[in-house]
């Protein structure tokens, strides 16, 4: 594990991953409702979840940004994963960075995704000096589009997923104009 990057929001702690998170994250990524619009929509087993965390931690080490573990300040429960990632699956948008999220179903509908995402955009600008962040979603993913809209991210264009063929909507935000 690398540098101690932690962000507090009113209700959340955003932090690096720990081996103790794997069981809680595996429960989240085993839920087809959570995974429906991620990748090809497949759920992950325990090994797949551990590989995902390994990739995120590698990204933290290599890039100085990554996907945060999102913990509820009150209970210490793991609500899910929100953060920044290099969208390697979509070479046409590189070197832009995307914001990504997945919360466990018990944590939907409470504004946690937006709270974590807003803090992530501030981190992107203030700590990492990124002036632009993308949001890449399936057109059917209404919950994510709602979060993108609340963040002030604007639809830019549609493209196709190179591996799976389905459409992807690319949104973006110019962080130099971003007001939290």
Ligand X SMILES: CC(C)(COP(=O)(O)OP(=O)(O)OC[C@H]1O[C@@H](n2cnc3c(N)ncnc32)[C@H](O)[C@@H]1OP(=O)(O)O)[C@@H](O)C(=O)NCCC(=O)NCCS
Footprint on this chain of ligand X (rule: CB under 6 A): 34, 37-38, 100-103, 108-114, 137, 141, 143-144, 146-147, 150
The CB-side HSE value for 128 (13 A sphere, CA atoms) comes to 24
Q: How far is the CB of 136 from ligand X (least distance, A)?
A: 7
Q: How far is the CB of 35 from ligand X (least distance, A)?
A: 7
1 vs 163 by CB, closer to ligand X = 163
Nearest residue relative to ligand X (C-beta):
111
Q: How far is the CB of 20 from ligand X (least distance, A)?
A: 21
Q: How far is the CB of 5 from ligand X (least distance, A)?
A: 21
100 vs 120 by CB, closer to ligand X = 100
Other Cβ atoms less than 10 A from the Cβ of 91: the count is 8
32 vs 129 by CB, closer to ligand X = 32
Q: How far is the CB of 80 from ligand X (least distance, A)?
A: 6
**Backbone CA torsion sign across 172, 53, 80, 138:** positive
Cα of first residue to Cα of last residue in the chain, in angstroms, is 29
Burial (CB count <10 Å: 0-12, 13-18, 19+), residue 37? middle
C-alpha of 153 from chain center: 14
2 vs 162 by CB, closer to ligand X = 162
The CB-side HSE value for 70 (13 A sphere, CA atoms) comes to 30
119 vs 147 by CB, closer to ligand X = 147
């Amino acid at each position: 594990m690398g540098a101690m990057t932690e962000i507090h929001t009113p209700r959340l702690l955003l932090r690096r991953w720990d081996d103790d998170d794997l069981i809680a994250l595996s429960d989240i990524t085993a839920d087809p409702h959570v995974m429906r619009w991620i990748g090809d929509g497949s759920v992950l087993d325990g090994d797949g979840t551990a590989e995902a965390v390994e990739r995120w931690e590698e990204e933290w080490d290599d890039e100085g940004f990554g996907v945060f573990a999102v913990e509820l300040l009150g209970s210490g429960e793991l609500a899910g994963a929100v953060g920044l990632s290099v969208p390697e699956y979509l070479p046409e948008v590189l070197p832009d960075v995307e914001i990504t999220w997945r919360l466990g179903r018990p944590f939907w509908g409470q504004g946690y995704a937006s709270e974590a995402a807003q803090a992530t955009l501030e981190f992107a600008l203030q700590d990492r000096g990124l002036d632009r962040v993308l949001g890449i979603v399936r057109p059917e993913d209404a919950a994510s589009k709602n979060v993108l809209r609340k963040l002030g991210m604007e639809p830019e264009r549609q493209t196709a997923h190179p591996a799976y063929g389905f459409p992807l909507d690319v949104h973006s935000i110019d962080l130099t104009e971003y007001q939290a």
